[in-house]
Amino acid sequence: MAKVASKPSPENVHKFRTSSRRVEVLVSDLAGSRNGNDKKLLKLLGRLRKKAGRLRDLDVQSVALRSLRIPQEPQRKSQLLRTLAEERARREKKLAKSLDKQTVAEVRKRMKRTAASLEVPKTADPLTLARQKLNDLEVDQGTVTERTLHQFRIAGKRARYMAELASKDAAAIRLIALLNHVQEVIGDWHDWVQLADKAEKLFGGVQDSALVSALRNITRAKFRQAVTTLTETRTALAGKRPVSVMPATREPLRPGSPAASAVA
């Protein structure tokens, strides 16, 4: 928190988000019970994490946009980069205002109290709980929607943090690796979708802007990749043979289109 308050760099923001999520998983999912202090701590961390998350989203969107290589509409690409930078500056001020000395002191105080009283039942197996969280997410056979990807993206993060608290045996290491991979792929799709949405608000639809058209083509390709990765991951987790699952309402990039080679 101190680093984010004094220097909200992309690295510090990212570390704060992941650290706060790990605390949330430990207290909310593994602890035997939660007292009033624990609940207030989770509420505080959740509020701060969401504000940091908005900064993190803008950071990764800016990196994605800079990686885009298309000759059309360079001015609009520059305009979109400036828009992202301006929004980040506003969000940075809001986060810094939220991380005042009083709030930081309260979080530290509540974390110390939680650390002193927290009890994790001996029967609580982090690896089993992680698998259960994933098993609770059922994907309809034959179709994977954007909603499915969002659900797995959120639940998968919590499951991974749980698995990281397990003993470092082969099963835990394998699960963590699988979840890391699928989260990266789904997260990448999600980042490009957000970027495309921002571009569309500025410049209109695909018929109005070559930049928007390229971004939408990329999101379609990223969607198919995310669906394939999710399907393979769930198959690996279940120990079953692959099942054919088709993405809903999405199509692949047109072969040879400018967007197909725009992003490495």
pTM across the whole model = 0.84
**Residue 167: predicted pLDDT:** 82
Encode the chain (264 residues) as per-residue pLDDT tens digits: 888 988 899 999 999 999 999 999 999 988 878 899 999 999 999 999 999 999 999 999 999 999 999 999 999 999 999 999 999 999 999 999 999 999 999 999 999 999 999 888 888 899 999 998 888 876 555 578 898 899 899 999 999 999 998 888 899 999 999 999 999 999 999 999 999 999 999 999 999 999 999 999 999 999 999 999 998 988 888 775 444 333 444 333 343 443 444 554
Task: Say which residues have a Cβ less than 8 Å from residue 17's Cβ, sequence separation at least 6.
Answer: 49, 52, 53, 56
C-alpha of 161 from chain center: 13
- Hey, is 31 helix, strand or coil? coil
**Residue 139: predicted pLDDT:** 55
- Reported as a single tens digit per residue, the pLDDT across 174-214 is 999 999 999 999 999 999 999 999 999 999 999 999 999 99
Q: Are 177 and 217 in contact (CB under 8 A)?
A: no
**Residue 239: predicted pLDDT:** 72
**Residue 136: predicted pLDDT:** 80
Residue 17 φ/ψ, nearest 5 degrees? -60, -50
**Residue 135: predicted pLDDT:** 83
**Residue 142: predicted pLDDT:** 59
